[in-house]
Structure 1
Amino acid sequence: MTTADLAVTLPAPRPGRAARRWARVTAVRQRALGVDLLAIGLLVVIVLVALAAPVLAPHSPILRSGEAFLPPWSPGHLLGTDALGYDILSRLLYGMRSSLVAAAVVIASGVLVGGLVGLLAGALPGWVDSLLMRTTDLFLALPGLVIAMAVAAALGASFTSALIGVAVVWWPLYARLVRGEVRAWAVRPHLEAARLAGTPWGLRVTRHLLPGVRSTVVVAASLDVGGLVVALSGLSFIGLSSPAPAPELGAMAAQGMAYLLQAWWVPIFPGLAVLLVALVANLAGDGVRDLMRGR
């Protein structure tokens, strides 16, 4: 038997334990990456569908379009109608759009106000830091949901009042987060070198500190979408958002509770819409966090 024949007949060496373990880790990471990308893609689809509600909705969300309590899969009414003959699918599309727009507005205001407070507190240690953080602690010590309800009730039931009520209690979270990140970046060697080189304070903030906290803020904002959808739906559920017949997911579920046994689809579909948006948003937020951390 020649050397060539021996090489052909001998079995290939099995990979070592470390190689097999690394292969399993790689497979798990690939599956996790696929789940993350799928969640982000689903959220993008939901956002696009919600924004296209005026085009996709088969009927007006505030005008009677059929008989009351038509069941799902009825001709012309895929998800049925409610007690007033409103098309539930059309109202769901508009309701998801208002919830996502409201979440985006609250996140933007929280990042703007809380980010500015946290940036100033972290970059200006001393009495400025103490004053801003004690004010932030005061807001954090208050029950957020109760304060949001009180503000919305004091301003009157409307979409704007609900936004203001939630925004008032949401910015301190970003202030604390940004302040911690700024303080962590401020002690790094390149920041100290820039300070010793005479770089102006404003330039150090815009060139070094802001890019350092950007990824953390993006991750926090993406994780907040689901919680904000639930919080805003809760305010509309108890009647502190837009008055009827505005298409609000929480208000639709609350108004349909009286017909739960008679027409289950009236309150169930809005609740499922809130669940779907919040769940996909949370999974997408986790995906954004993992991608930005380079998992």
Structure 2
Amino acid sequence: MPTSVIIRDLVIDTHCGVTPEERSTIQQLAVDVEATYDMAQAVIDDDIKKVVDYEQVCQIIKDIAQTETSALLETLGNHMINRLFENTDAHTITITLTKKTRATVLGNQGSIGAKVSAQRPEGPQGDRPSPLLVKHVPSIPRGRALDIATGRGRNALFLAKAGFQVEGLDQNREALAACDEKAKQLGLRNLSLKEIDLEQSPSIENNAYELIVNTYYLQRDLAPTIVNGLKVGGVLIFETFLMENHHRFNHPRRKEFCLEPNELLTLFNGLTVLYYHEGATANGPYLASLVAFKHS
């Protein structure tokens, strides 16, 4: 149950300005924070501190504003967001910074400000399996499953526990090691992992998989190889960021890793679509989500 938590009009003394003269003078900064959290447990227990500590959030912002000197409000905002991600479980964070300006523009004095937004770097679900995958996997016949860009194994481990014979691909050795260790702890013997850079070696076994999963990884030229890797009747579950997410949250930072509207449908136009959605999800990110099967 993702919910926005809002803090308004937090006033702090800071040293922030474009010129050295500005930065040498204490200035009042008004800070607004909006962050999304999973509030389910807090609602059940009627205890907000199960999820977020308002005093902690305010103290983190205050500490950064009072101890760091920045030329740009955007820099200060990014530092605040990064620290909040390190110390809280927020999914997305938007910080608005406003300060009075002594400069006169067209005969008037007013305020200047900046709004900075970001989402948690490791992705919207963290270590949890993709909700899209969880929703659709019960209807998929068990067999071989391929998890592309496995990472630490949130989807691969889920599939192995669900009874698939899973193969996970990733180029991050450390992440694969963490996945392997977790599989051993769970006693899963139906999961194999392979360290591979798919951009350099875009190789997937043909006509081999009942299911291929690809989340938060975009390599456009891999699409035909993915289709060829599915057995007839095999299912593709694909989900990643839209360009809108880059514009709103600057994530991913490289916009070539984001999809244009309807681009995902074009990439896999040879498959039969079972489900498709584009837009904002409950906890913030803008995603394109596809479930499709290979008809022939």
Using the size of structure 2 for normalisation, the TM-score is: 0.27
Structure (1/2) with the larger helix percentage: 1
Question: Rg larger in 1 or in 2?
Answer: 1
Structure (1/2) with the larger strand percentage: 2
